[in-house]
Copies of this chain bind each other. A is one copy, B any other.
Amino acid sequence: MTAALARKIRIGILGASGYTGAEAVRLLARHPNAEIVIMTADSHAGEPYEQVYPHLGGLDLPGLVKVEEVEWAGVEVDVVFCGLPHGTTQEIIAGLLHDTQHSVIDEVMHEGPGDAAAAIQGQPRVIDLSADFRLDSTDTYAEWYGHEHYAPHLQPEAVYGLTEFSRDKLPGARLVACPGCYPTVAILPLAPLLSAGKIAPEDIIIDAKSGVTGAGRSAKTANLFSEVSEGLHAYGIASHRHGPEIEQELSKAYGDNLIVNFTPHLAPMNRGILATSYVRLAGETSVDDLRDCLVERYADEPFVRVVGNGVAPATRHVRGSNHCLIGVFADRLPGRAIVVSVIDNLVKGSSGQAVQNMNIMYGLPETTGLEQEALFP
C-alpha cells in the first residue's frame, strides 16, 4: 500500500522539545513515508535541535521555531503531531482546523480510504498527544482539568486514537486524540473482557506503576533524580486525570457507566508502565476464559501480545518498542483474577501509537516505522 502515496507525508511537530515530541522525531525521522518539515518549541526556539536533544544530532531536521511564528500557509504540512501542554493545545488546534468541514481527503493519497474522504484545502490533519480532546464530555474535561474546554466545537469529531479500537474511524479523521499512557495500558487488557462480559464492572482495581518520563521534561523539583531514584511512591491517589479517561472507554466497552480504582505510582525508571489489574470474574467465567478472550481478541494485532501462561510481563520487555504485553493469572481469592499489562509510555503510550494511527490514516501498513525490537538491557 505504501506505493499508493504520491509523496512523503509532510509532518509538523508542535512541542518538539518535550519527551513525546522528541520520541515522535526519533520515530518519524526514519519512517520511510514521512518527512518532518516543521518543528516548534517555545523556550528553545532558534536553537539547533541537536543542542536540545544531542541523541538526535546528525539528522537533517528543520530549525525550531515558536508555534505562533509558523507560517502555515507556506509550508504545506499534511499532519501535525501536537505535543503541547493541555489548554494551549485546544486553542492552537482550533486555529489550525478553522474550517467547519469535518471530513478529509489527503492529497498525499492517490486513492482515498473510502467514502469518508473529502477535501479540506490547506488544512493539516492533527494527531494530538495531549489530553485536550480525549474526553467526550467537555463538562468532564472542565471538571478534571480546571478550566472550560476552549474548542468544544471540535470535540465531537475527535477520534479517540487507541488504534486497536479505532481503526475504522482513523482513515477519515482530521483530529485524532491519542490516549494517555495509563489509559492505553489499562484499556487494552480490560476493554475486551468487559465487552465480552467476562469480568464484573463493579470493583476493578488498576494499580499502575510508571517511569518518570511520563511526567515530561519540565523542571520540577519532584522529578529531580535525587527525589525519584532509589524509592517508590503513589501519587494522584483517586484523583489522577487519567481516571475519568479510563472510565470513559471502559464504560463504552461495558455498555454502561462504570467507575474504577486507578492508583498510579512513580517508579525509578525512565520508560515503561506496568498495570496490575485486579478483577472479579463474571458469572461462570474461568481464568482460562479470560486468557482465551484476550488471545482471540489480539490474535491478529501486530503490537499486542498475550504472553504464555505463568509468564509475568516486565516493562523492560517493551522498552523502546510499540508493543503491549498482557499476562493473565488466577488469584488466591476465589472468583478473582489478576491481569498484568506493560507498555513503553513514550511509544505505545504516546508517540509510537501516534505513528501507528498516522499509518492507518494514510493507508500504510500499520507497522511502518515501528518495527524496532525492544532495547534490553
Contact = CB atoms under 8 A, between A and B. Distances in A.
A133 B260 CA distance: 40
Contacts of A53: 376
Contact of A243 (B54, B232, B263, B332): B332
Contacts of A148: none
A82 to B, nearest CB: 21
Contacts of A212: 224-226, 229, 377
B230 A270 contact: yes
A143 interface: no
Contact of A219 (B57, B203, B224, B263): B224
A320 interface: yes
A348 interface: no
B238 A329 contact: yes
Given A373-B29, A375-B375, A232 B267 contact: yes
A373 B27 CA distance: 8
Contact of A231 (B30, B213, B314, B321): B314
A98 interface: no
Contacts of A235: 312
A226 B312 contact: no
A265 interface: yes
A319 B231 contact: yes
Nearest 8 pairs of A and B residues by beta carbon = A231-B316, A233-B314, A226-B377, A55-B374, A55-B376, A270-B377, A207-B207, A225-B228
Interface of A: 19, 22, 26, 29-30, 50, 53-59, 202-203, 205, 207, 209, 211-213, 217-221, 223-235, 237-238, 243, 259-263, 265, 267-272, 274, 276, 278, 305, 307-308, 311-321, 323, 325, 329-334, 336, 338, 340, 342, 371-377
14 contacts: A55-B317, A55-B321, A57-B317, A58-B305, A58-B323, A213-B377, A217-B221, A220-B224, A224-B224, A225-B229, A230-B270, A234-B276, A238-B338, A320-B375
